[in-house]
Every structure is written in C-alpha cells, then in structure tokens.
C-alpha cells in the first residue's frame, strides 16, 4: 500500500508540475504578425533575446506624460519587407485600433516596439489599472513625421497588413469633392477618431460609440460644446471610466477641427 501511495503521490506531483509549466507557457504574452509574406507569433521572452534589442529613452512619452526608458526593438527589425504595404494595423487587447500609413513607419520618425520585462514591470496607466505593456509602439523623433497621440498604441496584441480604412469601408466617404473641407475632415477622422469610433458601422474599432448611428454628435451637441468636448472631454462631462483623450490645438489645429466638424455634419446627412 505504501508503494502504491508513494507512486500515486509522485504521479500527482509530476502532473501538477506539468500543468504549472503549461499554464506558465500559456500566460506568456505573444505578439501576432499577420502579413501576406509573414505570419508569426512572437513570444515576449524570445523578443527580449533579439539581437537588435536596445535600451532607449523617450523624452516625452505620450501615454505616461513623462520621460520613460524601455527595452525595445526597432519595429522594422521584426517585420519583413513592407515596401508594398499601404497601411500597418496595430490592434490592442481592449479593441483600440491604430491604422498607420507605412510611409510613417519608414520615414524620419523612428518606430520602436517597447517590450515590458516580466521582472521590471512598467507603471500602471491609471490607479488600479494596467501598464502599457506587454507591447507598446513608441517613437523617437515623432515630431519629424507629425506622429499623433493616437499613433502610440499600447497593449498591442496583433500587427497586420491592411488597406486604407476608406477602401475597406466606403460608407465613411463623404459625398463631397476630394478638395473639400468634408473630405479633409474624413482624413482627420481616420487619424484621430477611427482608433475608437466607427462611422455608419464602418471601421475596425468599437471602444466608443458609432459617430453617426443612431445619431451624429452634431445632432445633439451645440457646436460650441462639441468643439469643447473634442478639445477637453472632461470639461463637458466626466465619469470614472472616461478614456477619451482631449485633442489640443497642438494635436489638432483649429482649421483641422473645422474640417472634422464639416465632415461630421455631412455624414449626419448620409446615414
């Protein structure tokens, strides 16, 4: 009986060790790459061993609002040839989606993939919340290419190749000429708003409400208050779960805001 009991204990112990190992493996953060010439799942541990890994300092981190130091890889060091790719999509775990033109990724600003080490976690973004990890797109010299705050996606789960948003979702196109304020406003929407909102059910993200259905914000906001809401959401209404950032005049000029308002008013007529 003792031999059987001892054997059983050894078996159970081995099983528990195996289960723990499987759980640890399953819990390892993985970044998925989905391109026509590249489909990979890259584990954090492997990325932290990449020969191109460096320690970089971001003087003005968009998410943390202060200087930050990261272990990071040049983004293009893990992507194969993207010369024929129009847009690279970064999909976050919470549903945030950044569609970034490839020309920005290969331009004067330097995109880096920051990787959160398991033994040196980054600060949380808000009290009781999560950090920007495990994978976060950060930029060196962002001002050289006009990189916006919406182009710093964090908690990235997938990076993939896509065509431009208006090609995939023609319902976001205004019935206006390509040199109109409404058409320029559509491009402001795709850069600053489409990371969280859809228009007429068209778009990749679904964190925030659709901006045209069932009602467009120009239909229930006075113009002055809608402009203020875009500039500083908490100045108009606030609650603990508020996540929408404000778009200051250094991020979105008054002229660009005028164009965005023209686009929203036009789309209100195109439900």
pLDDT recorded at residue 12: 45
Alpha helix positions (H), the chain = 2-27, 44-47, 102-105, 165-168, 181-188, 217-220, 223-231, 254-268
Q: Long-range contacts made by residues 250-256, C-beta under 8 angstroms, separation at least 24?
A: 251/148, 251/149, 251/192, 252/188, 252/192, 256/184, 256/188
Range of the domain at 59: 28-163
Mean predicted confidence (pLDDT) in 64-72: 97
Contact 157, 115 (CB under 8 A): no
User: Does residue 242 sit within a domain?
Assistant: yes
| pLDDT, tens digit, 9 for 90 and up, residues 125-163 | 988 899 999 999 999 999 999 999 999 999 999 999 999
Paired tokens of 149: 């705050």
Domain co-membership, 51 together with 151: yes
Any idea what the CATH number is for the domain that residue 226 is in? 2.60.40.420
Neighbouring CB atoms inside 10 A of 210's CB total 16
| pLDDT, tens digit, 9 for 90 and up, residues 167-216 | 999 999 999 999 999 999 999 999 999 999 999 999 998 889 999 999 99
Q: Quick one: the chain helix, strand, coil %, rounded to 5?
A: 35, 20, 45
**What's the rounded Cα separation, in Å, for the pair 223 and 217?**
9
Domain co-membership, 43 together with 110: yes
- Predicted confidence (pLDDT) at residue 108 exceeds the cutoff of 90: yes
DSSP 124: P
Domain co-membership, 180 together with 84: no
Q: Enter the pTM of the model.
A: 0.85
pLDDT recorded at residue 240: 80
pLDDT recorded at residue 9: 52
**What's the rounded Cα separation, in Å, for the pair 118 and 137?**
18
User: Does residue 12 sit within a domain?
Assistant: no
Mean predicted confidence (pLDDT) in 106-124: 97
Domain co-membership, 35 together with 150: yes
| pLDDT, tens digit, 9 for 90 and up, residues 10-67 | 454 544 444 444 444 448 999 999 999 999 999 999 999 999 999 999 999 999 999 9
Any idea what the CATH number is for the domain that residue 127 is in? 3.90.420.10
The beta strand positions in 94-134, using DSSP E, are 97-101, 110-115
| pLDDT, tens digit, 9 for 90 and up, residues 233-254 | 999 988 887 888 899 999 999 9
User: Does residue 247 sit within a domain?
Assistant: yes
**What's the rounded Cα separation, in Å, for the pair 21 and 6?**
23
Domain co-membership, 154 together with 180: no
Burial class, 249, CB count within 10 angstroms (exposed 0-12 / middle 13-18 / buried 19+): exposed
Please tell me the total count of domains within the chain: 2
Minimum mean pLDDT among 84-88, 97-101, 189-193, 240-244: which range? 240-244
Q: Long-range contacts made by residues 116-119, C-beta under 8 angstroms, separation at least 24?
A: 116/44, 117/48, 117/71, 118/44
Contact 199, 267 (CB under 8 A): yes
Domain co-membership, 151 together with 175: no
Domain co-membership, 187 together with 126: no
**What's the rounded Cα separation, in Å, for the pair 103 and 106?**
5
User: If pLDDT is split at 50, 70 and 90, which confidence band does 218 have?
Assistant: very high
């Amino acid at each position: 009986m003792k031999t059987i009991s001892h054997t059983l204990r050894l078996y159970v112990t081995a099983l528990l060790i195996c289960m723990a190992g499987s759980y640890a493996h399953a819990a390892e953060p993985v970044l998925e790459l989905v391109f026509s010439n590249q489909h990979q799942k890259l584990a954090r541990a492997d990325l932290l061993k990449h020969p191109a890994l460096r320690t970089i300092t971001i003087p003005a981190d968009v998410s943390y609002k202060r200087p930050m130091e990261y272990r990071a890889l040049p983004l293009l060091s893990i992507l194969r040839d993207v010369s024929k790719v129009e847009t690279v999509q970064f999909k976050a775990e919470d549903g945030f989606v950044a569609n970034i033109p490839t020309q920005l990724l290969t331009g004067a600003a330097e995109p880096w993939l920051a990787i959160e080490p398991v033994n040196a976690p980054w600060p949380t973004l808000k009290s009781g919340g999560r950090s920007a990890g495990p994978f976060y797109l950060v930029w060196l010299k962002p001002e050289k290419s006009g990189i916006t705050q919406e182009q710093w996606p964090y908690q990235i789960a997938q990076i993939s190749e896509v065509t431009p948003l208006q090609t995939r979702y023609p319902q976001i196109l205004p019935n206006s000429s390509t040199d109109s304020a409404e058409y320029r406003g559509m491009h402001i929407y795709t850069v600053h708003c489409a990371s969280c909102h859809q228009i007429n059910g068209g778009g990749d993200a679904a964190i925030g409400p659709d901006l045209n259905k069932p009602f467009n914000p120009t239909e229930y906001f006075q113009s002055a208050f809608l402009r203020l809401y875009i500039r500083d959401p908490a100045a108009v209404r606030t609650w603990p779960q508020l996540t929408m950032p404000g778009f200051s005049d250094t991020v979105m000029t008054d002229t660009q805001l005028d164009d965005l308002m023209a686009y929203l008013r036009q789309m209100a007529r195109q439900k």
